[in-house]
């Protein structure tokens, strides 16, 4: 069996794809850093076409995130590369879920936002219509485990919106922390738009980087939602619905919600270029660690090609012998 021919490509073709595929995703938030890998155990399905990656077939795996795909599907990928820390389903702070390099936006938010903007900007009522609690919970738990790269094409867009809101609600500290509420209120209270922009800029740099990057990323997303006429969700409607989610449920009174809504409205009215400046993309660090699915390339006998194949064949012979004995 020759792994290099699993997709009908020669080794030269694999090398060409390896050197160019990471440069073909100009629309992604961060480009994938692929390596060609042949797997001799089940690794799941391709994240793009959802077809199974065959045994011994050469595929591409990102060094920074858990994405795997067929070589032929690499140029059609719409999934962002987000280095994701391993987290449990328990409540944590935003920085616990965010990458260690900028932009520090959690993978759950990036994947859901990407899919919403891909399919949902023609759908009425985004972030206003709800989904079932069970669907939202299952999706949130799968995304937070970080063991797979999601294919969200079959998920309802309302479920994706609810997943983002539920994730923000369950943070230990809200996206706009309690100790920065007054800072945003004072910054957005000016009548001059230029003064508002300058004051908000200073307050944004007072936030932790994970909060600053995530807030800027979501503001750009919500501005695109508000600009879509088919969604029929104005800035006023979005501010009213999302204000308690961003500011937290502590001191949830009518007066506070009214104030938070005004603040969020002013933030959404800031120009697009204002929020873009906070999203500087840094390359993911190269890690020397390896996971369980790299065990075939880190054993002592791996550097000896014939001995590796001898062990694989011996394994299958033993399985056949056991089946005949039974």
Comparing CA positions, the residue from 53, 47, 50, 55 lying closest to residue 81 is 47
Residue among 163, 112, 128, 117 nearest 238 (CA): 128
The pLDDT, as a whole number, for residue 176 is 96
Question: Domains in the chain and their CATH numbers?
Answer: 34-76 (3.30.60.20), 94-106+116-131+168-277 (1.10.555.10)
Tokens of 90: 């328990």
User: At residue 297, does pLDDT exceed 90?
Assistant: no
Q: Is the pLDDT of residue 310 over 50?
A: no
- Which tokens belong to 166? 């539920």
Whose tokens are 């919106």? That residue is 161
2, 34, 30: which is closest to 15 by C-alpha? 34
For helices 254-269 and 235-247, the axis angle rounded to 10 degrees is: 120
The phi-psi region of residue 43 (left if phi > 0; otherwise alpha if psi is between -120 and 50; otherwise beta) is alpha
pLDDT at 250 over 50: yes
| Mean predicted confidence (pLDDT) in 217-234 | 95
Nearest to 166 by CA among 99, 231, 91, 232: 91
pLDDT at 295 over 70: no
Encode pLDDT of 88-137 as tens digits: 556 688 998 988 888 899 888 988 998 899 888 999 999 999 888 899 99
Residues 6 or more apart from 293 whose CB is under 8 A from it?
39, 41, 43
Provide mean pLDDT across the span 316-326: 48
Selected residue with higher pLDDT from 321 and 153: 153
Mean pLDDT along residues 235-245: 95
When the pLDDT of each residue in the chain is averaged and rounded to a whole number, the result is 77
Please, what's the b/e burial string for 66-78 (b: 16 or more CB within 10 A of its CB; e: otherwise)?
A: bbbbbbbbbeebe
**In the prediction, which pLDDT does 29 show?**
59
Asked if residue 288 has pLDDT above 50, the reply is no
Whole-number pLDDT of residue 233: 95
What kind and span of H or E run contains 70?
strand 68-70
Tens digit of each residue's pLDDT (9 = 90 or more) over 135-179 = 999 888 888 876 666 678 788 999 999 999 999 999 999 999 999
Query: Residues for the chain: how many in total?
Result: 326
pLDDT tens string 85-96: 655 556 688 998
pLDDT in tens, 179-191: 999 999 999 999 9
- Over pLDDT 90: what percentage of the chain? 42
- The residue among 227 and 68 whose pLDDT is bigger is 227
Provide the 10 A C-beta neighbour count for residue 254: 7
Cα–Cα nearest to 88, from 145, 44, 26, 31? 145
Report pLDDT digits (tens) over 44-67. Answer: 777 777 777 777 777 887 776 667
CA 205 to CA 13: how far, in whole Å?
46
């Amino acid at each position: 069996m020759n792994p290099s021919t699993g997709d009908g490509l020669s080794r030269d073709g694999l090398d060409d794809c390896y050197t160019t595929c990471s440069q073909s995703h100009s629309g992604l938030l961060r480009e994938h850093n692929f390596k060609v890998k042949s797997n001799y155990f089940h690794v799941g399905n391709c994240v793009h076409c959802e077809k199974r990656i065959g045994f011994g077939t050469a595929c591409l795996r990102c060094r920074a995130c858990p994405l795997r795909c067929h070589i032929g599907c690499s140029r059609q990928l719409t999934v962002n590369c987000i280095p994701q820390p391993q987290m449990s389903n328990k409540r944590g702070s935003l920085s616990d879920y965010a990458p260690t390099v900028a932009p520090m936006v959690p993978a759950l938010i990036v994947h859901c936002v990407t899919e919403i903007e891909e399919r949902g900007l023609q759908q009425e009522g985004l972030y206003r219509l709800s989904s079932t609690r069970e669907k939202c919970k299952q999706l949130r738990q799968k995304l937070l485990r970080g063991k797979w790269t999601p294919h969200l094409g079959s998920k309802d867009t309302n479920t994706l919106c609810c997943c983002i809101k539920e994730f923000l609600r369950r943070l230990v500290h809200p996206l706009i922390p309690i100790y920065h509420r007054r800072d945003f209120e004072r910054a957005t209270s000016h009548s001059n738009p230029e003064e508002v922009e300058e004051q908000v800029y200073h307050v944004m740099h007072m936030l932790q980087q994970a909060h600053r990057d995530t807030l800027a990323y979501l503001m750009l997303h919500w501005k695109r939602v508000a600009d879509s006429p088919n969604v029929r969700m104005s800035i006023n409607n979005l501010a009213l619905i999302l204000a308690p989610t961003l500011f937290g449920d502590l001191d949830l009174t009518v007066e506070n919600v009214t104030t938070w809504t005004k603040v969020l409205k002013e933030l959404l009215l800031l120009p697009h270029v204002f929020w873009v400046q906070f999203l500087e993309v840094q390359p993911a660090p190269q890690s020397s660690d390896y996971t369980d699915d790299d065990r075939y390339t880190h054993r002592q006998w791996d550097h000896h090609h014939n001995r590796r194949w001898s062990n694989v064949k011996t394994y299958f012979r033993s399985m056949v012998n056991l089946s005949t004995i039974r």
